[in-house]
Every structure is written in structure tokens, then in C-alpha cells.
Amino acid sequence: MKELLLVRYGEIFLKGLNRPYFIRSLIRKIRYALRGTGSEVWIHDGRIFVRGFQDLEYVTDRVTRVFGVHSVCPAVEMPKEDFEALCAEGVRMTADLKGTFKVNARRSDKRYFMTSPAINAEMGGRILEANPELKVDIHNPDHVLNVEIRDQAYLYVKVIPAVGGMPVGTNGNATLLLSGGIDSPVAGWMIAKRGVQINAVHFHSYPYTSEQAKEKVLDLARKLSFSCCGIKVYIVPFTEIQLQIRDHCPEEYTTLIMRRFMMRIAERIAEKTGSGALITGESIGQVASQTMEALQTTDSVVSMPVFRPLIGFDKSEIIEIARKIDTYELSSLPYEDCCTIFTPKHPATRPRKEKVEEAEQALDAGPLIEAALDGTEVIQV
């Protein structure tokens, strides 16, 4: 008897002719997630299995966090000929259960000496005898013991939900504007979950923002790195641009102009890295720079689509996801962000685009952007 993990994929099932491509990609991602565990991942009869591991709990934790995995079932594989042994295993697997159950047998080996209904009845009877806490309900059972008769027999009862989504890389690339806050890591995670390979841009204003603030952002990227299958982080020196904005632009527009520079630079990096979109962690009305007028003003400097997966989320909903993906504590460390220094006392909440453009005329944008790009540091995490 061998212990293994049956991996079920959700939505990628729907992909018609592309299905083999998605499945191959998912297998690669599961292998990546399990590197170093000695596990073997393979596909058989259109289903993905993992075996050869030492620690089921550890392997389950990793596989359930791979985008594209819908659920996993700890299963046993055993020779199908010895029906007594199959029943004994069925009894063992259901020994702790209470409530209602059914046995659900399926045969892809039609020459097997028992039919599916006969397996259901016989094994169900043995389980009822052994466990007085269980009753049969074939329509709406609390538990289903699956018995699959293929080249071997496979038995499983427990279904552990996984993260869902699609395998990273099957839906293109995008560039995340990653601050040290709560929102942007969540935004990146959500888009990556849809099968998008992300890279990240962080704007750093040393010495106004500290080395620790930069390390915090890299630590956030490291947290995301497992799910995102590695992230390249572009650290852009932003001090000079911020000082120029502070010295030459009206105070009420400084945050907005700064955001516009961020978008322009991020778009340049996105183009260079083959990204098709930018991602930010904004949500309507959260702060002055996230009113509808302000968002329009920042969007108007780039031609790439800007994905804002949190646009309709409350902060409490964002925090809930941040906790789930384990970025919340790191994000809550109290280091300053370049957005929080030079903050205007009364930022414009309903800026007119023409006014902002006019204010920006005081700056020589081209060379400032080129210098920032030249000074960019790239770190793979």
C-alpha cells in the first residue's frame, strides 16, 4: 500500500484544447513547490498524483498553495485484486467519521470481478458494521469514500480545499507597484492567482526612507515568492524626483504628481520585461490620491491597462486576505514609505487633469525618469 496525494484542478478543466498545456504547466508548478521533498509528481489518466514524500502534512500545505490546484485528497494506492484488503482499508479510513456516508466506486477497468454497485453495497456494509456512528445516505452524505478501480485501486475520503486560480505564467506577465503597505502585496497575489507571472517595482527615497524600509519590501516579495514562483524586484531610486516635486510644484498636487512619475517609470520597466499591465493596491476613496478624479489623473500618463484588483474592497476585507497570505504582520511594521514623506497637508481630492499637467511643467520629466531607471537595482527573490 502506498500513500499518495491526488491533486484536483478546478477551472483549468474548462480550457478545451488548451487543457494539456495548462495541465503540463500546473505539474511544473507543483514540482517547483515540492522541490527538495523527494516527491514525484506525475499525471495518469488525466489526473495528477504526488508520491514518494515523507511528510504528508508538509506536502499538503505546499500543494494547496499552488495556483491552479482546486483541492487535494490524501489517498492510498493498493493492488485491486484483494477485495478483503480494500474493505479493511475502507473501514480504517472511515473509522473516525460520524454522520452519514456513502461508498462511491468507479471502475475504469471494466473487467474487474465486481461491479461498482456491488462494491458500494459490500464495502458500505462492512463500514456500517465497524462504525456504529455512521449511517448511509446516498443522496446527500456528509462523507464520501471514493474507491477507484484502475490499474490499481485508489481510495480516498478526505477532500482538502486549495487556493484555486490558474497556474502562474499561463496568463502572461504584469508589473506590480509594490509599497511596504498592506494593500499592494494583496493586489499582486490576487493577480498572480489568475495565472499571471508578476515582477515588482518599488520606489525608494533613501535617506528619507531607510534601508529597513527597503528590506521590508524585499521580505514582502519573499513572502509572495512561493505562490508567484519567484519575483524580480526593481528598486528605483526616487529621492531626486520627490525633491524636485517638493521644490517646484504646488503642494496640493505633490502626491498626485509623484504617483504619475511612479506610473511612468513602472510602465517603462513593464515594457522592458514583457509585462502587459500594471498592478496597484488602490481602492476607491481610501485616501485623497484614490478618488475617481485622482485615479483618472494617474492613469492618464500610461497607455498600459492598470489592474486594481482591490478597487471595490474595504480595508477590513483586504486585511483578511493579507492575514491569509501571511503578509499582514510584515506590512504592519512601522517603516515609512516614500508616499508618507513630503505628504501635503491638504491634498487635492478632486484634481483637474489640466491643472496637474500644468503644475508638472515646472519639471524636466524626461531626464529625471532616465536617471531613475539608470539607478535601478534588480533583485531576484
Site string for ligand ATP, 13-52 (x = CB under 6 A): ----------------------------------------
Rounded to an integer, what distance in angstroms lies between the CA atom of residue 169 and that of residue 68? 11
Minimum gap (Å) between residue 331 Cβ and ligand ATP: 7
Question: Should residue 71 be labelled a site residue for ligand ATP when binding is judged by CB under 6 A?
Answer: no
DSSP string, 327-371: -HHHHTS----TTTTT--SS--SS--HHHHHHHHTTS-HHHHHHH
Rounded to an integer, what distance in angstroms lies between the CA atom of residue 27 and that of residue 32? 9
The cell numbers describing 321, all together, are 486576505
Q: CA triplet 360, 361, 365: central angle to 5 degrees?
A: 75
Considering beta carbons, is residue 118 or 333 the nearer one to ligand ATP? 333
Residue 272 C-alpha from the chain's centroid: 24
* Residues with Cβ within 8 Å of residue 214, at least 6 apart in sequence: 202, 204, 206, 235
Question: Should residue 267 be labelled a site residue for ligand ATP when binding is judged by CB under 6 A?
Answer: no
Considering beta carbons, is residue 108 or 332 the nearer one to ligand ATP? 332
Q: Give me the residue label for grid cell 485491486.
A: 80
Applying CB under 5 A, the residues found at the interface with Mg ion are 183
Residue 178, contacted partner among ligand ATP, Mg ion, none, CB below 5-8 A by kind: ligand ATP
Minimum gap (Å) between residue 290 Cβ and ligand ATP: 6
For residue 134, give the DSSP letter. E
DSSP string, 162-213: EEESB-TTTT-EEEEE--SSSHHHHHHHHHHHBT-EEEEEEEE-TTTS-HHH
Question: Should residue 91 be labelled a site residue for ligand ATP when binding is judged by CB under 6 A?
Answer: no
Report, in angstroms and rounded to the nearest whole number, the Rg of the chain calculated over CA atoms: 27
Query: Applying CB under 6 A, which of residues 76, 182, 249, 269 lies at the interface with ligand ATP?
Result: 182
Minimum gap (Å) between residue 16 Cβ and ligand ATP: 35
Which residue sits closest to Mg ion, CB atoms considered? 183
Query: Applying CB under 6 A, which of residues 280, 291, 297, 327 lies at the interface with ligand ATP?
Result: 280
Residue 252, contacted partner among ligand ATP, Mg ion, none, CB below 5-8 A by kind: none
The cell numbers describing 293, all together, are 478624479
Question: Should residue 203 be labelled a site residue for ligand ATP when binding is judged by CB under 6 A?
Answer: yes
Question: Should residue 282 be labelled a site residue for ligand ATP when binding is judged by CB under 6 A?
Answer: yes
Question: Should residue 177 be labelled a site residue for ligand ATP when binding is judged by CB under 6 A?
Answer: yes
Question: Should residue 202 be labelled a site residue for ligand ATP when binding is judged by CB under 6 A?
Answer: yes
Rounded to an integer, what distance in angstroms lies between the CA atom of residue 177 and that of residue 247? 25
Task: Give residues 315-344 in contact with ligand ATP (rule: CB under 6 A).
Answer: 337-339
Minimum gap (Å) between residue 67 Cβ and ligand ATP: 20
Query: Applying CB under 6 A, which of residues 90, 165, 281, 351 lies at the interface with ligand ATP?
Result: 281
Question: Should residue 295 be labelled a site residue for ligand ATP when binding is judged by CB under 6 A?
Answer: no
The two counts, helices (H) then strands (E), for the chain are 13, 15
Nearest to 223 by CA among 347, 333, 95, 356: 333
Q: Which residues bind ligand ATP (CB under 6 A)?
A: 177-179, 181-184, 201-203, 262, 280-282, 286-287, 289-290, 337-339
